[in-house]
Chains A and B, each alone.
Chain A
Amino acid sequence: MPVIATEKLTKDYLTGFWTKHPKRSLDSLDLEVHENEVFGFLGPNGAGKTTTLKLLMNLVFPTSGSATILGRPVSDTSMHREIGFLPEAPYFYDYLTAREALSYYARLFGLKDHAVVDRFLARVGLTEARDTQLRKFSKGMLQRFGLAQAIVHDPRVVFLDEPMSGLDPVGRREVRDLILELKKEGRTIFFSTHILPDAETLCDRVAVLARGRLQGVGSVEEIFHREVHGVEIIFELPGGGAPPADLARTVTRTGSRYRAEVGVEDVYATFARLEELKARVVGCSEVRPTLEEYFMKLVDGANQAKQAGGGSQ
């Protein structure tokens, strides 16, 4: 049984002030997330990621289609005992201290033990700030607090909407580690992001969404590595001289280092020439399209499909 399953899940929002026009935000989403998976939900802004999460959290109601979590319909509130949710750019009762707020949330699950609250605040690194009112928290601290409230009740499934946004590199690292720990504890994690490296390091599988439509599901490699643009070679030249113009299709200089981007078929020839030039090779890696480039292509593709379809929607 899948932990999360959606079937033809569709959501139209009514827009416009006087005359309401339906605007499709999510279009026939079919998705299955399995037990103990870290599942990444990728897509550019406005792709329908947050709409999907809101549908799963029963915050908005589907126009058509259905969704289940742990085999129970999303409208079943009692199932919420088993799940945790961190909204995008979360905001909490800012007149409470971190400790008060977390014990408030814990009480909604019948947890009255202050030790539990303190343990979870420590887990997200907020021990020192626990008696500070949330209104004095930075965005990153709020994000950490949000993680604590999502897991304080030991949920089986954790939903995180853009958990890394607003965090500094250290914070991102900590959240990454936390997600991996949650996986190790046997939980299922469903998170949305538009940052590819996060998805790469964490996800067993990802789904890509653009313009409300599912574009593909699979491992990060399957989805993003299909095409390799080329190879980048970073090198230094003795005596600081400039490389010959015909060395590679692009050569850029940063400080004393050069970066050459070459086609996969030209890699050995380029190495040979670099050897002739007595260059010192510092690094070599694949060049893949960035997530932004990938998304741009998806959006273009969706636009073209829409035009080709003659506005069949």
Chain B
Amino acid sequence: MTERTNAKTRAIIAIPLLMLGVWMVARFNEPYAAKMQPGPDVLNLSSARVIKALSIGYNGLMADIYWTRAVQYYGDKRHAVQLTGNQAVEHYPLLDPLLEITVTLDPQLVVAYKFGAYFLTEPSPVGAARPDLAARLLRQGITNNPNEWRLWADLGMIYYQHGDYAHAAEAYRMGSEHPHADEWMKVMAAKIAQEGGTNQISVFLWSQIFQSTKDPLIRNNALQHLRELGAVR
């Protein structure tokens, strides 16, 4: 046998065996290595400005990554709650900083404001129960994206849900002044200003949310609200 065929035969026989060893050692290492890793809840870089500087021009990509991380973070936590059935208060403490970093990296990422605010404002265990942070995020989004009148609707909804009808009506009114805004925005502004919270308005607003997205999580949640209001069965 020549060196050529020797080397080939050796590779064909030895590599699968060695990889088996690699697999076994990797499995052995797993628990120890996991202990050495910083937990997933540690936010290594907390300043959005620093990350922006470090992303050396790839802000858009970094924003996408951080938005994904924010979603993953929410998803992981939510999943854990559902799995364990542990309904203990979940605060999603890193959701706001992750969103903050995302929108600093890419201020035009409207989806981050919209869904971010939604999950920040919803009560536990669905959301972080922080309408104040949600409102701040949305106002930031409105400043950065004056053409997105729907962000006003989202802001109005947050105030409406928490019984702050004056601010809610104001938000719908501001949004309705936008040239492309739907007619119902005006109606909502007037209705809420006059009547405050009613079942009818709540049903309308939740069905608006239901129709405005394809995301199953949000649609299910809106459906849940509509069920509680007796609008659907």
**Complex A–B touching at CB under 8 A:** yes
Interface size on B, residues (CB 8 A): 3
A77-103: which residues lie under 8 A (CB-CB) from chain B?
77
CA distance A73 to B3 in the complex (A): 12
Q: Nearest CB to that of B1 among chain A residues?
A: A75
CB-based contact A61/B3 at 8 Å: no
**Count of A-B residue pairs with CB < 8 Å:** 7
Contact partners of A61 in chain B: CB under 8 A: 4
Contact partners of A75 in chain B: CB under 8 A: 2-4
Contact partners of A77 in chain B: CB under 8 A: 3
Binary per-residue interface labels of chain B (136-154) against chain A in the complex, 1 for a CB within 8 Å, 0 otherwise: 0000000000000000000
- Chain A min CB distance to B6 (Å): 10
Q: In which size bucket is the chain A interface?
A: under 10
Q: Nearest CB to that of A77 among chain B residues?
A: B3
CA distance A61 to B3 in the complex (A): 12
Interface centre among A75, A76, A77 (most CB of B within 10 A): A75
CA distance A76 to B1 in the complex (A): 9
B123-170: which residues lie under 8 A (CB-CB) from chain A?
none
A44-76: which residues lie under 8 A (CB-CB) from chain B?
61, 73, 75-76
Contact partners of B2 in chain A: CB under 8 A: 73, 75-76
Binary per-residue interface labels of chain A (120-137) against chain B in the complex, 1 for a CB within 8 Å, 0 otherwise: 000000000000000000
Contact partners of A73 in chain B: CB under 8 A: 2
- Chain B min CB distance to A271 (Å): 65
Contact partners of B4 in chain A: CB under 8 A: 61, 75
A229-251: which residues lie under 8 A (CB-CB) from chain B?
none
- Chain B min CB distance to A225 (Å): 42
CA distance A73 to B1 in the complex (A): 11
CA distance A75 to B7 in the complex (A): 13
CA distance A76 to B6 in the complex (A): 12
Pick 7 A–B contacts, CB within 8 A, sort by A.
Answer: A61-B4, A73-B2, A75-B2, A75-B3, A75-B4, A76-B2, A77-B3
Q: Which residues of B contact A (CB under 8 A)?
A: 2-4
Q: Which residues of A contact B (CB under 8 A)?
A: 61, 73, 75-77
